[in-house]
Structure 1
């Protein structure tokens, strides 16, 4: 398994849409658990007011990431392999759960 970062730009118009995608992602992730594992995501405010995300996944390959994206109805084309991690501090709290 390798670590990947996926950038999804402005695909949600509301927190409810984001929450629905999160639920679907968990379901599909469970079905694909031998090839993919969702680590964490950051919901980001886009300039146009929509919601995007930066997601971190462990996956067997890019094809698993793309299949997961297709199955949850989210873009999966901006995928990058992580070369290293530099954690300087824990996430500040409290972050809003989505």
Structure 2
């Protein structure tokens, strides 16, 4: 599997909608597509239009698997990029707070 960044701009009206989509995404990934996709983490952002968007980190077999997972969940999944490499300068602050 390869590492991908998936951009989902302005996909949700609020954090409650995002939470529901996240639960469905995790369930589908774990129960139906565990051999094709694995959700690693997401960075949630406030979009200029007031909606919620995300940058998600996934492992996936290929782009078709990302599209299929997004289709099953009912969320955007066409804007994604294969990760070339990772540069970590400092750990995520959220990781430090929960460690």
State TM-score, norm by structure 1: 0.92
Q: Deviations over 1:4-44 (max 9, x none)?
A: 10000001011110000000001110120111100100111
SS where residue 93 of structure 2 aligns?
Answer: coil
Shift of 1:94: 7.3
Moved over 2 A (4+): none
Aligned to 2:78: 77
State TM-score, norm by structure 2: 0.92
Count of residues paired in the alignment: 95
Q: Deviations over 1:60-92 (max 9, x none)?
A: 100000000001111111011000000111111
Aligned to 2:57: 56
Alignment map for 1:1-98 (pairs within 5 Å): 1-30=1-30, 31-93=32-94
Structure (1 or 2) with the greater helix fraction: 2
- The gaps in structure 1 that reach 5 residues or longer are none
- The gaps in structure 2 that reach 5 residues or longer are none
